[in-house]
Amino acid sequence: MKIAVLPGDGIGPEVTAQAVKVLQALNNNGLKIEMEHAAIGGAGYDAAGDPLPEATLNLARQADAILLGAVGGYQYDTLPRPMRPEQGLLRIRKELNLFANLRPATLYPELADASTLKPEVVAGLDLMIVRELTGDLYFGQPRGIQVNEAGEREGYNTMRYAESEVRRVAHIGFQIAMKRGRKLCSVEKANVLETSELWRAVVIETARQYPEVALSHMYVDNAAMQLVRNPRQFDVILTGNIFGDILSDEASMLTGSIGMLGSASLDENRKGMYEPIHGSAPDIAGKDIANPLATILSAAMMMRYTFGHDGVADRIENAVKKVISQGLRTADIYTPGTTRVGCAAMGDAVLAAL
């Protein structure tokens, strides 16, 4: 298993280091894991003048899986757009064809208090958002800012999906639903957008191959409501890039602890990039207070989705559950009566629990 480790910016390096310790321990345990590090985001810009240096992209291409920390920092905000950290992220997704973004929103019973929602609304929450990641407004051409006929500046972007793009991510959605609660809700805006009309038609066609999955359709505005009203009605949500960006952030916040949520971005062959959903949090970087569990759980997803080692994934996830039930907490999830620990100590605790 060749893993490219891209720590990135802010708290990225310190949380990634904890996940690397976990992977290293698995290595000593018989799995053959090779890891190599490279720079991305602001760190890539600092090192090579590019948020996705060529050496990093090459390493990522050769790897079977990628572990990413986070990108972004105030000092890069004034750079021209192509040099900004998030462009490194967008480009690696596109270059490696990582079209299926899996974002679980899972509530740990011990952390239910952290949610701003009432416990009876979110208890047991366990939903999976499958977001298309290489199409839509993010990459559609034409795009730009131009002066129009009236002599005014005008900004434009193109929402665009070809049926094959919808079909391949729909398959991923249905396959994941088959391993979970066998319910898939496809979210779009087909009452207004032709792109969504096609999306819906292709999802319906694809569904024929998954007769055991109960398929429903929901408009994106209603989905944003229903996530607040009754999030447990959902099992798998399948949606496009921009709607998925919005809904997955909303869904993750329902748990109240985004320091606990990992994600996967997969290509056609299950090669994948794995990263916590939280950002680079530059204000707390280097202070050993960040929560490494989302990154460690991303490593678990890597074992499950890219390497097919469900057992290993379960072991990592159970180790995380154990440290939580032991009452260990980083600052972001701390409540009185629990034991506050730093980033590295939390990583060590997971190692011990493994």
Ligand X SMILES: CC(C)[C@H](C(=O)O)[C@@H](O)C(=O)O
Residues at the annotated binding site for substrate? Answer: 93, 103, 131, 221
Q: Shortest CA distance to 264 belongs to which of 232, 292, 306?
A: 306
To the query of whether residue 310 is one of the catalytic residues in this protein, the response is no
Q: Whole-angstrom Cα distance, residue 50 to residue 318?
A: 38
Give the residue with the Cβ less far from a copy of itself, 47 or 242.
242
Choose the binding region for a copy of itself from 23-31, 33-41, 161-169, 341-349 (rule: CB under 8 A): 161-169
Q: Which of 46, 64, 126, 249 is catalytic?
A: 249
Angle at 227 between CA 327 and CA 265, to 5 degrees: 75
Sign of the torsion formed by the C-alpha atoms of 27, 33, 34 and 35: negative
Give the residue with the Cβ less far from ligand X, 162 or 192.
192
Q: Which of the residues 220 through 239 are near a copy of itself (CB under 8 A)?
A: 220-222, 224-230
123 binds ligand X (CB under 6 A): no
Structure tokens at 156: 């434009």
Strand 100-106 versus strand 126-132 pairing type: antiparallel
Tell the residue number behind the tokens 């038609």, with chain if given. 201
132 binds ligand X (CB under 6 A): no
Q: Which of 189, 210, 271, 332 is catalytic?
A: 189
Q: Whole-angstrom Cα distance, residue 85 to residue 49?
A: 11
> Rounded to the nearest whole angstrom, what is the least distance from the CB of residue 317 to a copy of itself in the complex?
24
Q: Whole-angstrom Cα distance, residue 7 to residue 69?
A: 4
**Total binding residues toward a copy of itself, as defined by CB under 8 A:** 62
> Rounded to the nearest whole angstrom, what is the least distance from the CB of residue 249 to a copy of itself in the complex?
4
Give the residue with the Cβ less far from a copy of itself, 140 or 181.
140
Question: Is residue 85 a contact partner of residue 24, using CB atoms and an 8 Å limit?
Answer: no
* Non-local CB neighbours of 231 within 8 Å, separated by 6+ positions: 105, 117, 121, 122, 125, 127, 251, 254
The dihedrals phi and psi of 282, each to the nearest 5 degrees, come to -55, -30
Choose the binding region for ligand X from 86-94, 104-112, 284-292, 322-330 (rule: CB under 6 A): 86-94
Q: Which among ligand X, a copy of itself, none contacts residue 145 (Cβ within 5 to 8 A by kind)?
A: a copy of itself
DSSP string for 178-197: HHTTSEEEEEE-TTT-HHHH
Q: Which of 245, 267, 305, 332 is catalytic?
A: 245
Structure tokens at 67: 């572990």
Residues annotated in a binding site for Mg(2+)? 221, 245, 249
Q: Which among ligand X, a copy of itself, none contacts residue 140 (Cβ within 5 to 8 A by kind)?
A: a copy of itself
Give the residue with the Cβ less far from ligand X, 196 or 206.
196
To the query of whether residue 314 is one of the catalytic residues in this protein, the response is no
Catalytic residues: 138, 189, 221, 245, 249
Interface residues toward a copy of itself, by CB under 8 A: 81, 84, 86, 90, 116-118, 121, 137-138, 140, 143-145, 148, 150, 152-164, 189, 191-199, 202, 220-222, 224-230, 242-243, 245-250, 252-254, 258
